[in-house]
Structure 1
Amino acid sequence: MDLTFAVSPVVLAVSAVVAAAFAWWSYGRSTPTVSGGRRVGLAALRFAALFLVLVLLFDPVWRRITRTGEPPLLAVLVDDSESLRLGAGPPAAAVRQAVDGLPDDAALRFYRFSGDAAPAGTDLPGDSLAFAGERTDLAAALARVETDFAGRNLRGVVLVSDGRVTDGRNPAYLAERFSVPIYTAVAGDSLSSRDVRLERAVTNDVARVGSPLPIQAGVRATGFSGESAAVTVASNGRIITRETITVPGDGAEATADLTITPTAPGVYRYTVTVGPLAGEATTRNNSRTLTVRVLDDDRRVLMVSAGPSPDLAALRAVLDADDSVDLTVRTQRSPGQFYEGALPDALGGYDLLVLAGYPGAAADPGQAQRLAEAVAGGLPALFVMTTGTDLARLGRTFGDVLPVAPDAVRGGGVEVQLAPTAAGEAHPVLDGLGVPPDRLGALPPIAASPTRWALQPGGRVLATVRRGGTVLDAPLLALRQNGDVRSAALLGAGSWRWRTLPDDLDDLRGAYAGLVDRLVRWTTATRDRRPVRVRPDRALFGERDRVTFTGQVYGEALAPIDDARLELTVRTPSGGVERATMRPLGNGRYVADLGVRPPGSYAFTAEATRGGARLGSDRGTFGVGRLAAEFREPGADPALMRQVALRSGGAVVGLDSLGQFVRGLREAGALEDRPLVREDETPLLDFWWLLVVALALLTVEWVWRKRVGMV
């Protein structure tokens, strides 16, 4: 303990001498004069009061230093996930035995963890471990310990786990900066479990009726190399297709390519399964479920023409011959008038807009603008130039929504042939027509405008023009993808010639129909015109997960609707019906939270209304069940556990000798008290009684002066 001042003690000493001299001098000139003991006593009282005030003015601080020891702490993290049930043993029994074998030590602090970590106090009986966690997040468990023991005497962490991480980040990165050593005890054996597992199953989210849907399955195995296993795809318990593969060696992957053909529209759940084989550690990692939306293959196409022409007739013939196309035609007759009747009121119901030379000289500006706004709102478009196209109007109205826009309009036309670019030869529109893409240059010439074209953002040129033997940098076939919306443009009049070919071009006879079909399919491939779209946030929820939904509601031209009422109806596995209203978030988005649901397969429908009018509906399925993440790869991962230990400055410990290791830490001095030095500082001004003492000294001096008759 000591006392410190804001100024040098020398200054305080000098001040004390001055105060003493002043007190003695002041009583040498008093009336009446005092001497002897009275002068000494009165001067001493005055000096004491003055000195105490001086001391307080110099801001003294009373400092006390206390030295103690903080007891050590050792955190023990025990993996309580499902994966500990697998393998030889299984590892769960060894973990329980190791935990029960730890010494009764006040320094130990237990945590059980799986997806998150929970403190279990100073004791964790082995039989209290349920091994039911659906995920393993080692990094989160270590981070929890680091937070809970911040600033305390944590001397190390003992991590008991199989090291199979199924959630969160890599714990080895966290171990590099961990403040204390991590001692890892590996539960299980990486080589003891024979297992075949479905590593991945991949397919398209959207399929069409009558079109093949490919499904690729990746299979890995341990201990079954060279054996045969069946990979199947099933729906509603019925196997649709199967393929037999040879099980790969350890660490390798075998691929099974399966194909199914949906026969009806709807939302389907397909279960892909491998095996099972006799002697597997678990069969819960043998299958995965895929959710696919199957759409009707029919495409509603609106074709608007600048007027009758051979190009219009050729396009119409090809589209009419396609059973998957529901074609509506409007041919310009005069300003604002069409031969077939007025433009449809609801453009949002179409999957594709084909502009056959439109707009022409007779195009009504209001109607053209309405079509352009529909394209800007998300309607795919295919533009085919004809001799009736008004390029100036095309640029003003559709220049922002097509792949190219007229930059400098020039009249007339020149005969050119199609010259695929390198990108075009590899693109699905040209690659797969049944003839080599470079052979398309032999098609009859068509008339291209000398207009200079500007490629729009997101556009790409699949073919340029060729005159004679010279290929020019002028687009003839261009595509554009803007988000999920696609458009295409064929910038040459007279493409009808590609449909009627001479005998020497017999190999190209189907090129025109194939090109139109591929352009239609490409532009509509990612099109989702549904006004109501509702999806569960997962296809399969865990037993402890909250079931949540996300929805979208759109109006004409895909404009978001924020004030709709979106009702969700869920059919439970037991046949019951539950309803919920989805909550709007703005910009046409809606959410719902159904809470934790019992395991099983669920079906749902969603219907949106606004002001009593029905806007549309959607439907689908989802499942609730135990997640198979912990079973995807049985067996331990000792390499990861070794990395965690070494990067943190710890060591790998045998699970059967864990208790002995902890006792050894104590004996080696690794679990010692941490010296704590505590400094307490108290300003003397905080002691109010010192001011009272100074006042008391001055009071005694004053009373004494009065008793001896001093003034």
Structure 2
Amino acid sequence: MIISGIIALLLALFQYAYKSKLSGKRSWLLMLLRFISLFAVFVLLINPKFNTVTYYNEKPNLVVAIDNSESIRYLNQTESTTDFITALKANEALNDNFNLEFYSFGKELNSVDSLSFDETQSNLALVFERLSEVYNNSISPTVLISDGNQTYGNDYTYLTKRYKQPVFPVILGDTTTYTDVKIQQLNVNRYAYLKNKFPVEVIATYNGNATVNTQLKITAGNAILFSKPVTFSKSQTSQIVNITLPANRVGVTSYRAEIVPLDNEKNKVNNIKNFAVEVIDQKTSVAIVSDILHPDLGALKKSIESNEQRSAEILSTVEFLNKSNDFQLVIVYQPTNNFRALFSEIDKLKLNKIIIAGTKTNWSLLNQLQSNFKQELTNQVEEFQPTLNQNYATFIVDNLNFGEFPPLKAEFGSTSFTVPYQTILYKTINGNQIDEPLLATFEINDKREALLLGEGIWRWRAQAYMNENSFNTFDNFMGKLVQYLSTNKRRTRLNVNYESFYNGNDNVKIIAQFFNKNYEFDDNATLNITLKNKATEAVKSFPFVLKNTNYEVDLSGLEAGDYSFTVKVNSENISKSGELKILDYNVEQQFLNANVTKLQNLASTSQGSSYFITNASEIANDLLNDSRFATVQKSTKKVVPLIDWKYLLALIALSLACEWFIRKYNGLI
């Protein structure tokens, strides 16, 4: 910078003191302007950088999570909870020292608009899971206003270890112990088979000190199917009763498990649990035929048998031929030279089938054994990733994020079909989708078939578990494929997917798909569902909402009862009817007290403190006096290059303009 100043000064002196004929004030003024221009240009070329430091105060967050479930209302804590929230919002000291953030939770976590205390589930684990994504890198003490009773999700005791903030539970409810006997849990399979017996397991618990006698009953309508006396005492606080009931009628049958209330019981709602069982008259048997060992076989069997209406058996070709009449569907896994007789038997029995091809498939033989498709023979292996065909029209397919699934290995080369087919999944190579099916279905001569061109589907099931912490999404996908292939019903333009019965706290959602006459998904249709309560004759109508490639309606607010429904397409004379049952059960009404022990343990392990709602006013002072939550002064350092300083450019322009004007005025130009 100094050298630049010296050079600029010397050049200015050379111009106006040595060469110029001007003298006096004009010479000195022009010399000054030239010096400013040159020095400023040299400084821009050097482009020095300057550090600017800005200081600011950062207040900690105070996160308030409020239990918005029905149990708060049932424990008569709505008014005290609302008053406490109002007091927190009005506390000026807290607002001066914290950024207050309010959330409510039931089954989901939401920002607070208003509190209704009508959520049918409590998922405390989700609270800490979601909050950890937002607040783990900041100072954010958390006030949890809840009774601590969780009805949904993982145990929040373990998930709080991931949450790095102190938790201050405000306990809603009292610690008074009431005498109570209840059905703690009831285990029963969703399906049973006609003329069989199905097991029911009832776990009954008792809270009290005296010895009491009562009775456990199972009823269906007005008929008592089972009755047994049960005894509880201070030392024997639980009983497990196992029952087997007959399945004599096809369809959904409702049952009622009841443990007769004691004379002095306060909560009698938890003495009853309704349940239902759907009785079916047959079981779909699937044969998985292979002469090689592969992890895909076990994955297919597990996936198919996740639905109790289906069974799967892994067989060799010889074993299948000995019992071929026992199956409704055959999965032909990587056919080899031993499969000639198997294909002949399948054709003779007119069985539907799924062919899965891979690196061990004898394509020369497979091309000969059937005429529906042909594979180009290259003797090379390629890896294909799946991409979902959003316009698949045969049945409803959920998108499982197939693009994230591992690739399948198969024969490289094109596959040509000689029959009309529908593509479920396209092949994708190196991120580029090609117009060839990876998974396709087709119908020919009243038979249904599917072709999967790749091995390694066990990795898809594992990936589905990694994405969802459950195999359900993949198993449902395979279940729909098996269901379609195990029946010969003609496809329809309107498909409706629903359960025959729902528990009272379940999300009652019905999904539909509608296709045009070319069996392409129609996203411009208007679908409505009309429900009729069989007991009250009340009729309600709801519109479906378009979600991706499905139409969906949420009926979670319906009261318990038996319903008949009709789904209708407004623009065309197409409809589909059915029946469903909603069982009367409210899990949020099963509690008499707050779970004080669990909330106090949560406070101690997270280095917080617990409070009862009756003395919750102390929490404000404790938070304000806690040195961990002091306001922190932070600074930001910004490096600014001189070339970004626009005033310097303006100075250069101004000095050059003034110099030019003076020289022009004096006739030097």
Fold in common (TM above 0.5): yes
Q: Could you say which residue in structure 1 is the equivalent of 2:9? A: 20
Q: Could you say which residue in structure 1 is the equivalent of 2:122? A: 136
Does the Cα contact within 8 Å between 1:79 and 1:160 map onto a contact in 2? yes
Pairing of 1:99-110 with structure 2 (within 5 A): 104-105=91-92, 106=95, 107=98, 108-110=100-102
Is structure 2 residue 252 aligned with structure 1 residue 267? yes
Distance 1:680 1:188 in 2: 53
Does the Cα contact within 8 Å between 1:182 and 1:651 map onto a contact in 2? yes
Pairing of 1:305-344 with structure 2 (within 5 A): none
Is structure 2 residue 553 aligned with structure 1 residue 593? yes
Q: Could you say which residue in structure 1 is the equivalent of 2:105? A: 113
Is structure 2 residue 148 aligned with structure 1 residue 188? no
Q: Could you say which residue in structure 2 is the equivalent of 1:702? A: 660
Change (3 A) 1:94 1:150: same
Pairing of 1:245-264 with structure 2 (within 5 A): 245-247=230-232, 249=234, 252-264=237-249
Q: Could you say which residue in structure 2 is the equivalent of 1:74? A: 62
Does the Cα contact within 8 Å between 2:328 and 2:352 map onto a contact in 1? no
Q: Could you say which residue in structure 2 is the equivalent of 1:437? A: none
Does the Cα contact within 8 Å between 1:27 and 1:43 map onto a contact in 2? yes
Is structure 2 residue 622 aligned with structure 1 residue 664? yes
Q: Could you say which residue in structure 1 is the equivalent of 2:509? A: 547
Deviation at 1:50, TM superposition (A): 0.4
Q: Which one-letter code corresponds to 2:37 in the other structure? A: A
Does the Cα contact within 8 Å between 1:284 and 1:631 map onto a contact in 2? yes
Distance 1:621 1:176 in 2: 41
Q: Could you say which residue in structure 2 is the equivalent of 1:221? A: 206
Q: Give the TM-score of the pair, scaled to structure 1.
A: 0.55
Is structure 2 residue 36 aligned with structure 1 residue 48? yes
Change (3 A) 1:580 1:683: same
Distance 2:567 2:269 in 1: 36
In angstroms, what is the RMSD of aligned CA positions? 5.2
Distance 1:26 1:365 in 2: 104
Q: Which one-letter code corresponds to 2:560 in the other structure? A: G
Distance 1:229 1:530 in 2: 52
Is the partner of 1:698 in helix, strand or coil?
helix
Tell me the alpha carbon deviations over residues 411-443 of structure 1, each in whole angstroms, 9 at most, x when there is no partner. Answer: xxxxxxxxxxxxxxxxxxxxxxxxxxxxxxxxx
Distance 2:544 2:654 in 1: 78
Deviation at 1:172, TM superposition (A): 3.3
Deviation at 1:623, TM superposition (A): 0.6
Q: Could you say which residue in structure 1 is the equivalent of 2:47? A: 59
Q: Which one-letter code corresponds to 1:84 in the other structure? A: I
Pairing of 1:550-561 with structure 2 (within 5 A): none
Distance 1:14 1:298 in 2: 95
Distance 2:597 2:248 in 1: 48
Deviation at 1:77, TM superposition (A): 2.6
Distance 2:520 2:233 in 1: 53
Is the partner of 1:168 in helix, strand or coil?
coil
Q: Which one-letter code corresponds to 1:47 in the other structure? A: F
Change (3 A) 1:289 1:295: same
Deviation at 1:239, TM superposition (A): 2.7
Does the Cα contact within 8 Å between 1:642 and 1:651 map onto a contact in 2? yes
Does the Cα contact within 8 Å between 2:176 and 2:593 map onto a contact in 1? yes
Tell me the alpha carbon deviations over residues 453-502 of structure 1, each in whole angstroms, 9 at most, x when there is no partner. Answer: xxxxxxxxxxxxxxxxxxxxxxxxxxxxxxxxxxxxxxxxxxxxxxxxxx
Distance 1:366 1:71 in 2: 73
Does the Cα contact within 8 Å between 1:206 and 1:293 map onto a contact in 2? yes
Pairing of 1:515-594 with structure 2 (within 5 A): 536-537=498-499, 539-540=501-502, 542=504, 545-548=507-510, 571-572=532-533, 573-575=535-537, 593=553
Change (3 A) 1:596 1:82: closer
Distance 2:567 2:141 in 1: 57
Does the Cα contact within 8 Å between 2:125 and 2:159 map onto a contact in 1? yes
Distance 1:668 1:99 in 2: 21
Distance 2:198 2:19 in 1: 118
Is structure 2 residue 588 aligned with structure 1 residue 602? no
Q: Could you say which residue in structure 1 is the equivalent of 2:481? A: none
Tell me the alpha carbon deviations over residues 637-657 of structure 1, each in whole angstroms, 9 at most, x when there is no partner. Answer: 233323432333322234433
Change (3 A) 1:675 1:538: farther
Does the Cα contact within 8 Å between 1:541 and 1:547 map onto a contact in 2? no
Q: Could you say which residue in structure 1 is the equivalent of 2:221? A: 236
Tell me the alpha carbon deviations over residues 496-520 of structure 1, each in whole angstroms, 9 at most, x when there is no partner. Answer: xxxxxxxxxxxxxxxxxxxxxxxxx
Change (3 A) 1:245 1:534: farther
Distance 1:44 1:683 in 2: 26
Is structure 2 residue 606 aligned with structure 1 residue 629? no
Deviation at 1:48, TM superposition (A): 0.9
Distance 1:169 1:696 in 2: 71
Q: Could you say which residue in structure 2 is the equivalent of 1:646? A: 604
Does the Cα contact within 8 Å between 1:241 and 1:259 map onto a contact in 2? no
Is the partner of 1:27 in helix, strand or coil?
helix
Q: Percent identity?
A: 20
Distance 1:198 1:647 in 2: 31
Distance 1:647 1:371 in 2: 68
Deviation at 1:685, TM superposition (A): 3.5
Distance 1:669 1:59 in 2: 45
Is the partner of 1:630 in helix, strand or coil?
helix
Pairing of 1:382-393 with structure 2 (within 5 A): none
Deviation at 1:592, TM superposition (A): 5.6
Distance 1:530 1:232 in 2: 43
Change (3 A) 1:550 1:541: farther
Does the Cα contact within 8 Å between 1:16 and 1:51 map onto a contact in 2? yes
Q: Which one-letter code corresponds to 1:289 in the other structure? A: N
Does the Cα contact within 8 Å between 2:546 and 2:552 map onto a contact in 1? no
Q: Could you say which residue in structure 2 is the equivalent of 1:462? A: none
Change (3 A) 1:37 1:622: same
Does the Cα contact within 8 Å between 1:70 and 1:675 map onto a contact in 2? yes
Greater Cα shift, 217-226 or 142-151: 142-151
* Structure 1 unaligned residues grouped into runs of 5+: 1-11, 122-127, 301-346, 354-363, 379-395, 398-526, 552-560, 609-613
Change (3 A) 1:35 1:594: closer
Distance 2:567 2:325 in 1: 18
Aligned counterpart for 2:351 among listed residues 356, 361, 374: 374
Distance 2:35 2:163 in 1: 61
* Structure 2 unaligned residues grouped into runs of 5+: 286-323, 331-340, 356-367, 370-484, 514-518, 522-526, 569-573
Deviation at 1:254, TM superposition (A): 1.0
Deviation at 1:687, TM superposition (A): 4.5
Distance 1:580 1:85 in 2: 29
Is the partner of 1:188 in helix, strand or coil?
coil
Q: Could you say which residue in structure 2 is the equivalent of 1:690? A: 648
Deviation at 1:16, TM superposition (A): 1.6
Does the Cα contact within 8 Å between 2:505 and 2:587 map onto a contact in 1? no
Distance 2:25 2:354 in 1: 109
Does the Cα contact within 8 Å between 2:499 and 2:580 map onto a contact in 1? no
Q: Could you say which residue in structure 1 is the equivalent of 2:279? A: 294
Is the partner of 1:692 in helix, strand or coil?
helix
Aligned counterpart for 1:285 among listed residues 270, 276, 282: 270
Q: Which one-letter code corresponds to 1:135 in the other structure? A: Q
Q: Give the TM-score of the pair, scaled to structure 2.
A: 0.58
Does the Cα contact within 8 Å between 1:349 and 1:529 map onto a contact in 2? no
